[in-house]
Amino acid sequence: MNSRKDSTYLRAAIQLARERMIAGHGGPFGAVIVFEGEIISEGWNQVTSTNDPTAHAEVVAIRAAAARLGRFSLKGCTLYTSCEPCPMCLAATYWARIDRLVYGATRADAAGIGFDNEALYQEMNLPIRERSLPMEQMLHSEAVEVFEAWRIKADKIAY
């Protein structure tokens, strides 16, 4: 993509963040997804307006793009987002198989205004037993039985 078009799409994400934040829909984050030179979806932070902690701009845009294209793989798409994605949104971007990501503000910038993106990135690097969220593994063999059933399932749709 050329930098002029990148700037245009990124400005659309930033403007969306500004408009929806001012309207009281959530935090200052916006995202657009582009496929074949066209914005096919928009997302803005809707955490507080929908009481959905996963309704980050990128996730909202990914869900809308997948629905519009009628597929779970967003191969061929570029995600433009007003801020470097948090770990959840970055993982969703990978899972969606998005080709490219372009962002404006950094996760350090987000931390500077009270968002805990940076803290989450640091938390993910800790060994499980050192994380602030207590985690306990149980029923391993029963859970793995389901994985084995998936492995041999003849009609599965791999992703």
Which residues are part of the catalytic machinery? Answer: 58
- Contacts of residues 72-76 at CB distance under 8 Å and 24 or more positions apart, as own/partner, are 72/96, 72/159, 73/97, 73/159, 74/33, 74/35, 74/98, 75/99, 76/35, 76/36
DSSP sequence for 83-122: EPPPHHHHHHHHHTT-SEEEEEE-HHHHHHTT--HHHHHH
The token pair that represents 114 in the structure block: 């009270």
